Structure 1
Amino acid sequence: MVNRRADFHAIVNHQSRTPYLVSAWQHLVGHEYGAEEFAKATIDFVNRWDWEWVKINPRAIYYAEAWGSRYDRNDYAGFVLPKKIGAAITEPDDVRGVKELDVRDNEYFAEALAAAALIRHGLEDRAVLQTVFSPLSVLLQIADLPLYPGDDYATATLRVEDLIFNQPGVAKLALANIARTLASYARALVRPESEGGAGLDGVFYALTGTVSEGYFDAQRYLEFSEPYDRIVIDAVHRANPDAVVLLHTCRAESHPNWFDVKGVDLLQWDQYQPGNPQVDADLTAVPVAGAPYDLFALDGDVEQVRRELAKTIALRTGKPFLLAPSCTVPTPAGDEALQALSDIRVG
């Protein structure tokens, strides 16, 4: 019997004879609230397409919910995020109210931990990673500020300058509180069940599009993101030396080379976006790559999906990696495109 979980870790450690493992993820709209509801939907999605490793894709706004933002869980308005009722940060002084949370007592983190444990039990033969946003992404989300240039969903009442740049000391205290919270959350995710954890194989660490197209340039990344990213990433490895960190940097000009550092085992970026390298870039971290995510839409070009997958596989010949769309596939996605991805598995 093929041990896909062991194969996943062998790929991470550059020791695999399996050239790649296949996966995809999606916003499971209509099933995102409630640990049991979400876990069942995730397990069903993975089993339907027989994905070989798992990226848990919870509702993207549960971090903002944890710090007090409110959303209408019953109204997604045709999008993959629920409609905002009210942001927890609406003026600069609100940033002072961003405190460290107890993830076991906070209902939103507790729900996510419970769902992760259920998914772990339901998919024991596969590596399972939980999505964890970066502290900077979380702070922006609490204020409903864009997570990347051109984020039309965000409807903030203030600017990034107001939130962060004009009050760096206040912002850094908030970022530190978020980072400590997320570090505690990450530890709970990757610790073995015997130690009270969810027993996951690692985290999918999402920088979102914070460094895309100069949104936060190199200097501001080093000041407002990197120190807090390090708190969370280090917490993962200290809690479980076998746990992995898959770092995703989204959108165009997303600088994957900045993140090819100690503690980052896997790297995902969109090789199809302007200013980004191809999947054969000379990096130490193992890449996660495949076909453009938007080709998985209902009207996507399935033959182009197949061509891009074949091209990616060819570029990684002799260098095992993880095969997946360049980002979250649309909701709904085209069954034929997902089947094409599933069918290209090894063996």
Structure 2
Amino acid sequence: MEVENDYRALADTIIAFQEKYEWDFIKVNPRATYYAEAFGNIYNKQNYTDVLPELVNYPIKRAEDLDFFLQEKAAEYNPFYEQVLLAKRVRKGVGDNIPILQTLFSPLCILTFLAGHNPYPGVNKPKSKRESELNVLIEKNPAGVKSALEKITEVLKRYVRDTLENEIDGFFYSIFGHGDEGELAADVYAEFSAPYDNQIFETIKEKGGTVMFHTCGPASHPEKFSQNKYIDIIHWADQEEHTPSLEKDMPWLNEKIAAGGVDQNLFKDNNRDKILNQAQKAADARKGLPFILTAGCGLPVVTNDESIWALKQAVVNGKK
């Protein structure tokens, strides 16, 4: 975990990973907390639980704190600028011919972090933080939520411009579980996420960037987002029980490029044969169509090397 807190070391690790496996494009995977650090979250980076360090303090503990958050000084841009330098170093290390996508979380996901919560799907909300749950913040102070989201969005737009001006090709944009109506009602998403997402998408497109959109979890509803004119690629966990499976005929995809194919949970152990089987089925289903073969979500921290090689073999086989 030490590597992700030093942009030079992380860039060198990403470059080495690319040199080892020779992927068709690079998704930069920075530390998940840098956005929240810029707006006031404090972490103990010596103590991790899975992908996140221990949260020490956060600015929004109740709805009233949104007003204080808005009155505080501007965001600390250094955590963002480190990521600009990270992407720039990766570009220099891999050359000009490999597409690079930087990872970006939505403003609503960042607000979730700033309210002390983990936005990953399926994570239990601590009883001690009920006053800072999104639905509570939205119910008690909707204007404050929107103003906070606008503040976050403006910083992200600056970051997008800086990143794309350094020869990066686009963004892997995650809304975590906010596509799941059990997590966030559709009308709430339409009011409190979509307008800010679209501002960022517009900025990406103004700079000629690609948008790879990730909707996370077992009920992620990628079909809800396929009409968005800014999205180029939709990535979801197609192996989950309540998500659309990859098929030849997916009219709802609206000519977007599908990405996925393999259950990310298989990478925890050496599941070479299962990975190859799922990958082959996905490749057959999308044969003759634009398609990105990848895990359906982020790889586990304990990913097995043999399983990664199995995915690489599937990619090579698919190109023959």
Tell me the TM-score normalised to structure 2 length. 0.91
Cα offsets for 1:173-194 (capped at 9, x unmatched): 111111111111111111xxxx
Higher relative contact order (CA 8 A, sep 6+): 1
State the AA in 1 paired with 2:182.
G
User: Does the CA-based 8 Å contact 2:270-2:306 persist in structure 1?
Assistant: no
Residue number among 295, 310, 313 corresponding to 2:283 in the alignment: 313
1:119 matched to 2:108? The reply is no
- Corresponding residue number in structure 2 for 1:184: 158
SS of the aligned residue for 2:52 comes to coil
The answer for unaligned runs of 5 or more in structure 1 is 1-28, 191-196
What is the distance in 1 between the residues matched to 2:309 and 2:51?
A: 22
- Corresponding residue number in structure 1 for 2:246: 279
1:247 matched to 2:213? The reply is yes
What is the distance in 2 between the residues matched to 1:39 and 1:101?
A: 30
Residue number among 107, 117, 140 corresponding to 1:135 in the alignment: 107
Cα offsets for 1:211-237 (capped at 9, x unmatched): 224211211110111001001000001
Q: Per-residue deviation at 1:86?
A: 1.2
- Relative distance call for 1:149 and 1:343 in structure 2 (3 A) is closer
What is the distance in 1 between the residues matched to 2:235 and 2:77?
A: 30
Residue number among 6, 11, 19 corresponding to 1:39 in the alignment: 11
What is the distance in 1 between the residues matched to 2:256 and 2:74?
A: 32
What is the distance in 1 between the residues matched to 2:300 and 2:246?
A: 22
What is the distance in 2 between the residues matched to 1:89 and 1:314?
A: 48
Residue number among 198, 211, 229 corresponding to 2:179 in the alignment: 211
User: Does the CA-based 8 Å contact 1:57-1:130 persist in structure 2?
Assistant: yes
State the AA in 2 paired with 1:313.
A
Q: Per-residue deviation at 1:318?
A: 0.6
State the number of aligned residues.
308
**% of aligned pairs identical?**
31
- Corresponding residue number in structure 1 for 2:308: 338
SS of the aligned residue for 1:246 comes to strand
Q: Per-residue deviation at 1:146?
A: 4.0
User: Does the CA-based 8 Å contact 2:28-2:103 persist in structure 1?
Assistant: yes
- Corresponding residue number in structure 2 for 1:151: 123
User: Does the CA-based 8 Å contact 1:129-1:201 persist in structure 2?
Assistant: yes
What is the distance in 2 between the residues matched to 1:179 and 1:313?
A: 37
The answer for unaligned runs of 5 or more in structure 2 is none
State the AA in 1 paired with 2:114.
I
Tell me the TM-score normalised to structure 1 length. 0.84
